[in-house]
């Protein structure tokens, strides 16, 4: 039985390349593609893949929060981060969100296929180029509650911050999240107070710095 893979990346050329590589593996098949985090969450629910290859920097919903939502509702789905970001903060955030592994986009084909098979076998996988010591240090701090201010936000607050940073209006965000405009505006004020920022411009800088979105 083939390993069912969902590709989540906002660059079409990357998805096409990954599909070409995975389709060459006799025991794997790509069952769906998503170009943003929110679509990845929906497709994971509808298609029930075995593995999701998840980029981090995507519009509408970033890969970290998409991973958190997928692993919270679909425990059998394994998420593997596939990113150009090798910073230990991104690694720790993804692992804390429930990802089973983390690969860099410059990894070899054999490494990618090995990581997918490892995840299906309930084994974690990290690219060798990522420092294990740094990852363990960050994950240890997360488990002790020494969290960054980004982790102090709940899932809905992180979504609102990302959408605001991407230029969405309160009305657009309300429609996207199925909430009232008044509620969105209230949550925005609460978030800005919690993060001690005074403008959407500052909020945007914060979102980019924490990997919630990209310019």
- Give me the tens of pLDDT residue by residue for the chain, a chain 215 residues long: 799 999 999 999 999 999 999 999 999 999 999 999 999 999 999 999 999 999 998 988 999 999 999 999 887 999 999 988 777 778 878 888 999 989 988 877 888 999 999 999 998 888 877 645 455 665 665 565 555 555 578 888 889 989 988 888 899 999 999 999 999 999 999 998 888 888 777 888 788 777 777 65
Specify the pLDDT at position 112.
92
pLDDT score at 213: 77
Chain Cα centroid distance, residue 193:
25
Question: Can you tell me whether residue 150 is helix, strand or coil?
Answer: coil
Give residue 209's pLDDT: 75
Please tell me the CATH code under which domain 3-143 is placed: 3.40.50.2300
Q: Are 87 and 77 in contact (CB under 8 A)?
A: no
Which pLDDT score, from 0 to 100, does residue 133 have?
Answer: 45
Closest to 36 in 3D by CA, of 172, 213, 167: 213
Every domain range in the chain assigned CATH 1.10.10.10: 155-209
Tell me where in the chain the CATH 3.40.50.2300 domain(s) lie. Answer: 3-143
- CATH pick for 155-209 out of 1.10.287.1770, 3.40.50.2000, 3.30.70.270, 1.10.10.10: 1.10.10.10
Q: 2: which DSSP letter?
A: P
Q: What is the pTM of this model?
A: 0.70
């Amino acid at each position: 039985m083939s390993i069912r893979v969902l590709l989540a990346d906002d660059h079409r050329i990357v998805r096409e390349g990954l599909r070409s590589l995975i389709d060459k593996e006799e025991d794997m098949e790509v069952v769906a593609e998503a170009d943003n985090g929110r679509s990845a969450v929906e497709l994971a629910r509808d298609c029930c893949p075995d593995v999701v290859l998840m980029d981090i920097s995507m519009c509408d919903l970033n890969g970290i929060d998409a991973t958190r939502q997928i692993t919270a509702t679909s425990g059998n789905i394994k998420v593997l981060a596939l990113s150009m970001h090798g910073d230990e903060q991104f690694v720790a955030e993804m692992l804390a969100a429930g990802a089973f592994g983390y690969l860099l986009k410059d990894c070899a084909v054999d490494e990618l296929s090995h990581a997918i098979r490892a995840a299906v076998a309930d084994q974690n996988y990290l690219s060798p180029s990522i420092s294990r010591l740094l990852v363990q240090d960050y994950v240890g701090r997360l488990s002790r509650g020494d969290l960054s201010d980004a982790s102090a936000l709940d899932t809905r607050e992180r979504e609102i911050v990302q959408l605001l940073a991407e230029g969405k209006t309160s009305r657009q965000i309300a429609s996207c999240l199925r909430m009232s405009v008044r509620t969105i505006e209230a949550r925005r004020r609460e978030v800005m107070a919690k993060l001690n920022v005074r403008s959407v411009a500052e909020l945007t800088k914060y979102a980019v710095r924490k990997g919630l979105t990209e310019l």
